Structures are given as C-alpha cells and as structure tokens.
C-alpha cells in the first residue's frame, strides 16, 4: 500500500517537478481561484451562530444566498449540478429544511445528520432538473467549511483513485455516510503517508491524488 501512495507522489512530481511552486501547477491553481472564495464565504457565513440565528428568526435570506454563491464559485461542482442546486433553492418551501439540515451536518456531523442532509437535498427528486442530492453538492459545503477534516467527492475521479490504491469506498450513486467516511479515511491516510501532501489540507491533497488519474 505504501508503494501505491509513493507512486501517486511520484506521478505528481513527474508532472510538476517543482511541486506546488511549479509554474505549471501555479497555472492550474489559478483556474480554481474561485474555489478559495467559496471556502472563505462558507467559513464566514455558515457558522453555528449565524445559522442558529437565521433559524431562530426565520430570516434565511443571507444563509440561502451564501449557499447559492458557494455552489456557484465551487469549481468542483459541474454546470449541470450548479443549475440543479439553483432550481432546488428556487423552491422556497425547501429553504427552511435545507438550512436546518445544513446547520446540523456542518456543526453536529454524524450518520444521522448526514442522512437527513441528503434526504433534504433529495426532496425535489421528482424534478430531474432540481435534484441536488449529488455527491459534489453534498460534499461541497463540508469540504469548504472544514478542509482539514472534510472531503469533496467527485464520483468518477474518486472511484479511479480508490481503484488505484486498492481501497473499497463502498460507492453508491446516492450519497451515504459509509462511503463518505471511506473517502475521508482514504484522503487522510494519503496525507499521513505522502511527502508531497503531508502539510496541506484535504482539498490540496485530493488535487494531488486526482493528478495521478
């Protein structure tokens, strides 16, 4: 297993000999500058105190607008997924349960809050253009809010990385807690074994892993 992790480091350095300071890496990173803005917005606007205050007052506009902007800025979310989330949020009846579920999964993360969060994002499932229960959307808020702890899941790429490392991530197309934890463990394990990604957060560690596939 250690050799597999070392091989990912080697592949990354073969492509970017200067590591994170390599000019080609810097060029690639500039394409994802908006993601850093999504992280900053998420960490500023989706705090426990702000979400609790919004839920207590019933004034959800600031929270929902922040969520719209976060998804819009996130380069890990596809155009079709951005549209689905926008359409989902346009259904005002879903705003309250969504903000409540988001508050719980961000600040009381666990199997129950995760499953409720996914169920809430799936409430518009009958409209294929508003089904927001997709891995990149589900994981985006978590990864942006706490990139040291949480991970972003892009299914095709994550499955390729897992196959290369020989890790069973228990993948299912519907987001679920077991798969999320498996990907989280895989990324944290890579960080603990990688020379390249030893001192970076999960977002950057995943970028290194993705470059290998």
With a cut of 90, say whether residue 32 has pLDDT above it: no
pLDDT at 128: 83
In this prediction, residue 126 has a pLDDT band, given cuts at 50, 70 and 90, of: confident
In this prediction, residue 2 has a pLDDT band, given cuts at 50, 70 and 90, of: low
| pTM check: above 0.85 | yes
pLDDT (tens digit per residue) in 141-192: 999 999 999 999 999 999 999 999 999 999 999 999 999 999 999 999 999 9
- C-alpha 160/C-alpha 70 separation (Å) is 26
Closest Cα partner for 78 from 154, 159, 150, 161? Answer: 154
- Tokens 């346009």 belong to 90
pLDDT at 62: 98
């Amino acid at each position: 297993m250690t050799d597999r992790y070392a091989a990912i480091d080697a592949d990354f350095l073969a492509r970017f000999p200067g590591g994170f300071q390599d000019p080609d890496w810097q060029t690639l990173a500039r394409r994802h500058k908006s993601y850093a803005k999504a992280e900053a917005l998420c960490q500023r606007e989706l705090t426990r105190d702000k979400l609790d205050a919004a839920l207590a007052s019933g004034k959800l506009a600031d929270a929902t607008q922040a969520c719209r902007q976060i998804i819009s800025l996130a380069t890990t979310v596809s155009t079709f997924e951005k549209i689905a989330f926008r359409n989902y949020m346009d259904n005002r009846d879903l705003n309250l349960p969504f903000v409540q579920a988001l508050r719980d999964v961000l600040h009381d993360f666990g199997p129950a809050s995760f499953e409720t969060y996914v169920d809430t994002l799936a409430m518009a499932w009958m409209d294929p253009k508003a089904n927001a229960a997709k891995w990149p959307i589900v994981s985006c808020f978590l990864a942006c809010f706490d990139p040291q702890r949480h991970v972003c899941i892009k299914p095709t790429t994550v499955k390729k990385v897992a196959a290369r490392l020989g890790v069973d991530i228990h993948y299912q197309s519907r987001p679920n807690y077991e798969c999320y934890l498996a990907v989280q463990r895989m990324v944290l394990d890579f960080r603990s074994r990688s020379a390249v990604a030893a001192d970076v957060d999960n977002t950057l560690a995943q970028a290194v892993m993705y470059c290998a596939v």
